[in-house]
Structure 1
Amino acid sequence: MTPQGANNARRFSKASAISWLWRQLSRWPLARLWRISSALGPLVYRFNKRERWVTDRNLAIVYPDLSIAERKTLGQHSLRHSTATMLELGHAWMAEPNKVETSILAVHGRDKLDNARTEGRGVIVLAPHFGNWEVLNFWLSSHFPFTAMYEPPKITALDPVIRHGRERMGASLVPTNPRGVAALLKALKRSEAIGILPDQEPDWGSGVFAPFFGREAYTATLLPKLVARTQARVVTGVALRIPGKGFEIHFLDADERVYSDDDVQSATGVNASVESAIALEPAQYQWEYKRYRKVVQEQQNLANFRDYRLY
């Protein structure tokens, strides 16, 4: 077997094991998954240096007024929720639809989507990495024509598993390229709903720097282009975890600046909208993501960039 063939075999074996685990966990009650998360979360915080360091660094930037002990506690709670999200992927993607629907205990703000569609306008849902965003995808695609961008996973053998899980209730997944953007525009012009991840750093040239909790963060500029061409309404959507019981869906009005035709103002509104969602329960945000990886000094290629590194 060639080295490439051996590599592919290992990836397929790993993907099969992960898929099998998700399938098994999909049969377990959420209360049990939360108990496991509560046991594993502190271990992840203690032994996964990368996750702990990035989480602690982000929390120090975002919540400078908290004591070190308070930030440590918040970081531990955050990694517990992130662990729960990973364990709940089988629930969102593979459990019986009725079981997933029943786990959604309440939906707040649905009228924001219904009213927009009644007016003949599409809805852009900003879905940050908060709570269980896969449960949010399940609910949206169960109740509305829904389109979202999708980038295949690094383990390519998992692609059909994840794609099936996200599409099984009718969601349409489109690539993260100009063809995908065109599909989003068409969906909005049909007065449908689309989902955008507002808190991932885009590639250079696809974003601007805008404040996120007072610190400049490189933020995508796709939103104002979609709004300008479709007059869509923008809301923030999250699936807040009620530990051991289920989830509550919240749709919040986006910050009005998202409608600006100025990219920086619109990006500022996007980040402010994410901040409002995080305020529901900061521990449920995925703080281990390097949101401040790109900084102004990196773009300008300053010789003393090293002095500004955050991670």
Structure 2
Amino acid sequence: MRSLFVALSHLPLPVLHGLGWWLGWSSFLLSPRYRRRLFAHAQQAGFSRRVALSSVGESGKLVAELPRLWLGRPVRVGWEGAACIEAAQAHGAGVLFLTPHLGCFEITAQAYAQRFGAAQPVTVLYRPARQAWLSELMTTARNRPGLHTAPTTLAGVKQLIKALKTGQAVGLLPDQVPPQGQGVWAPFFGRDAYTMTLSARLAQTAGAQLVLIWGERLSWGRGYLVHVRAFDAAHEAPLATDPALAARQINAAMERLVRECPRQYLWSYDRYKTPKGAEAAPPGP
């Protein structure tokens, strides 16, 4: 598998995205569970089946582009809103980047490291792969100048806190379902979802500045466009200190980003699952 991964990394991005489109639709057609979840989540958020179907090929591209992004030549990346990062850095504290499962979240960290990493390195939180070969490849490929990784463990969390306290940047996906005891139930597109409290805790570390970011996958393999948003610009109030209120605010911010390009959101992600050992979501009104 590693040899295949290396071989794919040499292919042009349009070819990989074409393969990914085929992969996404194959998964959709072969898995009734996949189809049910994708349609249900898109409908819950108020989007049509047409939007849900347009996300099928994009989810496949998300997988197929990884060999090139991890091991291949650099890809073309543009920026929209980079001044928000410069403004956050001007405070002299660490910067916390929040990204939903939208577009290519792999490219956001790479693009940041290439442009800003020399002055302020970024550490990204990731969930190690179960396969040994993939876990090793993931770790080595993601660690590069200006970019470090931290696993979803207690040691990894300590690494993130240390990075922020020393004025560095940290990135994570706050719509990733955490283990039992590490989250609260908070609305996400009108339905309670188990939401991590880690992102809010990190945002309150050493005056860290909160920034929203996501990477748009351009059509026909033309590269990516990184969108940056100031968190304060998306909310009427600063992030709350109460974990439950902060989780609601962060979920609302993620919703706003998803609405910018719903066809590139990973609707098939099991966002509303109940972690093992956690109490079920409270009944709705």
Give the TM-score normalised by structure 1.
0.81
1:49-97: per-residue Cα shift (whole Å, max 9, x none)? 232121112112111xx5xxx41x322221200101111001110112x
2:66 paired with 1:89: yes
Deviations 1:19-58 (A, max 9, x none): 2232222222222223333344333222222321211121
Is 1:224 the counterpart of 2:200? The answer is yes
Q: For the pair shown, which has the larger CA radius of gyration, 1 or 2?
A: 1
Question: In structure 2, do the counterparts of structure 1 residues 127 and 300 end up closer, same or farther at CA, with 3 Å as the change threshold?
Answer: closer
Correspondence 1:46-57 to 2 at 5 A:
46-57=29-40
Task: Tell me the distance in 2 between the aligned counterparts of 1:25 and 1:53.
Answer: 31
| Structure 1 residue 166, shift from structure 2 partner | 0.8
Report what 2:125 is aligned to.
Answer: 149
Letter in 2 for 1:54: R
Q: Is the 8 A contact 2:25 2:60 kept in 1?
A: no
Identity of aligned residues (%): 30
Deviations 1:140-185 (A, max 9, x none): 2223201122332111221111111111244222232332222212
* Structure 2: gaps (5+ residues): none
Task: Give the ranges of 4+ consecutive aligned residues of structure 1 lying more than 4 Å apart after TM superposition.
Answer: none
The answer (yes or no) to whether the contact 2:113–2:146 under 8 Å persists in 1 is: yes
CA distance, structure 2, for counterparts of residue 182 and residue 114 of structure 1? 26
Q: Distance in 2 between matches of 1:78 and 1:91?
A: 21
Aligned: 1:272 with 2:252: yes
Q: What do you get for the CA RMSD once the two structures are aligned?
A: 2.2
CA contact (8 A) 1:128 1:198 kept: yes
* Alignment partners' CA distance in 2, 1:247 and 1:212: 26
Q: Within 2, Cα distance between the matches of 1:198 and 1:239?
A: 15
Distance in 1 (alpha carbons) for counterparts of 2:140 and 2:56: 27
What secondary structure is seen at the aligned counterpart in 1 of 2:263? helix
Match of 1:86, as an amino acid? V
Query: Which has the larger share of helix?
Result: 1
Partner of 1:127: 99
Preserved CA contact (<8 Å) 2:20 2:65: no
1:291 aligns with 2:271: yes
CA 36–149 in structure 1, closer or farther in 2 if over 3 Å, else same: closer
Between the aligned partners of 2:281 and 2:70, the Cα distance in structure 1 is: 43
- Structure 1 residue 112 and structure 2 residue 84: aligned? yes
Q: Determine which of 14, 17, 22 is the counterpart of 1:34.
A: 17
Provide Cα deviations, 1:238-277, integer angstroms capped at 9, x if missing partner.
Answer: 1101112110001112244562101111101111111111
Which residue does the alignment assign to 2:227?
A: 250
Gaps of 5+ in 1: 1-16
TM-score by structure 2 length?
0.88
- The answer to whether residue 75 in structure 2 is matched with residue 75 in structure 1 is no
Listed one character per residue, the Cα deviations across residues 184-215 of structure 1 (whole Å, up to 9, x for unaligned) are: 12211222110111111111211111111111
Is the Cα contact below 8 Å between 2:17 and 2:65 reproduced in 1?
no
